[in-house]
């Protein structure tokens, strides 16, 4: 089945901009969605589709995609953005429909 690849860790200075990327074949056919997970908590959807934020997600979070790569950008990172971030997408490889997750990126805000 398809896989999604993320950098294991990324750091950003407080108030600066950071981009977290996700690569995989499924992204050529399906948009990625992005989830934020803080320790001991369930994941929370932050970006879906082309570049859509659920209600309550700050507008410093944005998404983009090109070819087999999707990106989550945080513009003006805040201390509360320190978390693990996961991408996922639908995948129809192997003639069956399923979901795939990236391995996650740990974001540290310095």
Q: Which residues bind another protein (CB under 8 A)?
A: 1, 30-31, 33, 35, 42-45, 48-50, 52, 54, 86, 88-90, 94, 96-104
Task: Name the E strands within 13-66.
Answer: 18-23, 33-37, 44-47, 61-66
Cβ at position 6, least distance to another protein in Å:
9
Tokens 């989550």 map to which residue? 72
Cβ at position 33, least distance to another protein in Å:
4
Cβ at position 103, least distance to another protein in Å:
5
How many CA atoms does the CB half-sphere of 72 hold within 13 Å? 30
């Amino acid at each position: 089945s398809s896989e999604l690849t993320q950098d294991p860790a990324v750091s950003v200075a407080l108030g600066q901009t950071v981009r977290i990327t996700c690569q995989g074949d499924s992204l050529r056919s399906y948009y990625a969605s992005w989830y934020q997970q803080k320790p001991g908590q369930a994941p929370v959807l932050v970006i879906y589709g082309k570049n859509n934020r659920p209600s309550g997600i700050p507008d410093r979070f944005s998404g983009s995609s090109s070819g087999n790569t999707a990106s989550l950008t945080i513009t003006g990172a805040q201390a509360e953005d320190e978390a693990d971030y996961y991408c996922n997408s639908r995948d129809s490889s192997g003639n069956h429909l399923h979901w795939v997750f990236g391995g996650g990126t740990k974001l540290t805000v310095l």
